[in-house]
Amino acid sequence: MSHGWWTIARFRGAPIRVHWTLLVAAVVWSRFTFAPAFWVAFALLIFIHELGHALVVLRYRLGLSEIAIHGAGGYCRHDESGTRFQEAFVAWGGVLAQLALYAVTQLTLLFVDVPRNEHTHQVIYVFTEANLWIAALNLIPFEPLDGAKAWPMLGMLAARWRKKATVHEANTRRRSVQDELRALEKLDTRAETPSQKTDRIVRELIERTTQPKDR
């Protein structure tokens, strides 16, 4: 133990550390009741959130160095700074992991006959309702919450889509011009002089490529 931290395991070489304040947060969320199943599920939920960050860090090879969970949530450290898009994706990783847990829990309840007792009710509550509340809090767009870096990703995706649409439109126009040129090559210009032939082809090309297309 060092300054209230315990190193409980390692993930891809990075230490997974837990601070004693995590128990305090679990007790607060359980409304100060004795609920061991709730506390364990709460700690697991926070870990899954940070694991979501870690998986994106590994995806972009940013050098995962530490996973830590504490009473105010946790953090996932990495050695290298990514692009703005990568950092935004890392920020979304935690919430996406929570939503994946939510979906798995709901599917399990739908298809599996889970024994209903006090402990399972507590776990289900943490993995569903409390899960969504914590995800919503994390997406508030203020530092140090994930939302500060996560939401700009939407603008970056929109810019990428606009760029792709512009490139697609330019490629379509280029193909259209090439098609018109191939069609003009088939015109019967044997009775025309070279200059007349060139002039006719240019006029035909301008007319075909500038006239409005039927939608």
pLDDT tens for residues 162-210?
Answer: 888 888 777 777 766 666 666 656 655 566 666 766 776 677 667 665 6
pLDDT at 3: 83
| First CA to last CA distance, the chain | 71
pLDDT at 42: 97
pLDDT reading at 54 higher than 80? yes
- What band does 65 get if pLDDT is binned at 50, 70 and 90? very high
Q: Structure tokens of 172?
A: 């379509």
In the block, tokens 């193909």 appear at 175
Omega into 144 within 30° of 0, i.e. cis? Answer: yes
pLDDT at 95: 97
pLDDT at 128: 97
User: What confidence tens digit (pLDDT) does each residue in 76-130 have?
Assistant: 999 999 999 999 999 999 999 999 999 999 999 999 998 889 999 999 999 999 9
Share of the chain above pLDDT 70, in %: 82
pLDDT reading at 215 higher than 90? no
Supply the DSSP string of the chain, one letter for each residue. -BTTEEEEEEETTEEEEEETHHHHHHHHHTTT---HHHHHHHHHHHHHHHHHHHHHHHHTT--EEEEEEETTEEEEEESS---HHHHHHHHHHHHHHHHHHHHHHHHHHHHS----SHHHHHHHHIIIIIHHHHHHHHTSSSTTSTHHHHTHHHHHHHHHHHHHHHHHHHHHHHHHHHHHHHHHTTS--TTS-HHHHHHHHHHHHHHHHHSPPP-
In the block, tokens 């939401």 appear at 151
